[in-house]
Structure 1
Amino acid sequence: MNSVVLIGRLTKDPEIRYIPTTGTPVAAFTLAIDRDYKNKDGSTTTDFIPVELMGKPAEFCANYITKGRPVAIQGSIRIEKYEKDDEKRTFTKVVGKNIQALDSKKGEKSEQGESPASFEAVDNDDVPF
């Protein structure tokens, strides 16, 4: 099984292109992910993972995802092999199937005029949970 879930921040705005024959959108970006341990000097190491999304998730990226936003990506790892200057090379990337923004844009309002992350607690005995 080839499945991966990553949580990190975009290093820059996604690059959007369209496949010429089908018009399918493709979004490409790099995700910065801190490792979960510290070095001897107390610093953390950051990995930079290339990610590519196609179709509706790519359209979502084009419209809502920007540099610095934390996101969760679910997809698979792909290893592409190619040859350059008579030398065989490999390139590893994540091909995402789903993307989810983990915060809301500052000042972003929902249709009701509230912040998408806000809610109001309900204290009602009629609620079954």
Structure 2
Amino acid sequence: MNTVIMIGRLTRDPELRYIASTGNAVTRFAIAVDRAFAAKDAEVTADFFNVVVWGKRAETCVNYLAKGRMVAIRGRLQNNNYTDKNGNKQYSVEVIAEEVKFIDWGDKKNTANIGSQNNSQYDGIDEEGYRAINDDSVPF
């Protein structure tokens, strides 16, 4: 069984593309999911996941979601691998969404203050949903 359910905030606006050969719509975005545990006085930590949505659902996501919006995702994990131009094997995992629920509802025009109090913890996140790591934060 390969099922994942998560709730988080978008770290960037969704990007819509159409597959040339089939005309199928595909949308990609990343979400930050807060971890349920933290040390007593520690900041909340988040994990970042790349999400892929297909078909009519992808078009709906582009129309109603934007950076900062909260969504619930139900889907499956998919491994991807490829060899980069230097000959190194690269791996990634993404969530293929089968269901997307909009928790913050509205059109994209009304997103200015959505989750602004929570988004400060996501400052410094790049467009792929990753935060730069400094050597002091690595536990080994």
Please, which runs of 5 or more residues in structure 2 have no aligned partner? 110-140
Mapped partners of 1:89, 1:29: distance in 2? 20
Post-superposition Cα deviations, 1:13-36, rounded to whole Å, max 9, x if no partner, equal: 101111001111100000011101
The one-letter amino acid of 2:16's match is: I
After TM superposition, the runs of 4+ consecutive aligned structure 1 residues lying more than 6 A away are none
TM-score normalised to the size of structure 2? Answer: 0.72
Q: Pairwise mapping of residues 55-94 of structure 1 onto structure 2 (< 5 A)?
A: 55-84=55-84, 85-94=86-95
| Cα separation, 2, equivalents of 1:39 and 1:14 | 33
Query: Is residue 77 of structure 2 the alignment partner of residue 104 of structure 1?
Result: no
What is the deviation of 1:41? 4.1
Number of aligned residue pairs: 107
Paired residue secondary structure (1:13): coil
- Matched letter for residue 28 of structure 1: R
Contact 1:39 1:45 survives alignment (8 Å): no
Partner residue, 2:15: 15
Which digits, 9 at most, give the CA deviation of each residue in 1:48-92, with x for residues without a partner? Answer: 100001002101111111111110111100001111111112111
Between Structure 1 and Structure 2, the one with more strand by share is 1
The answer as to whether partners of 1:25 and 1:59 remain within 8 angstroms in 2 is yes
Look at both structures and tell me which one has the larger radius of gyration over its CA atoms.
Answer: 1
The answer as to whether partners of 1:2 and 1:77 remain within 8 angstroms in 2 is yes
Structure 1 residue matching 2:35: 3-state secondary structure: strand
Counterpart AA for 1:16: L
CA distance in 2, matches of 1:92, 1:61: 21
In 2, Cα distance between equivalents of 1:11 and 1:66: 8
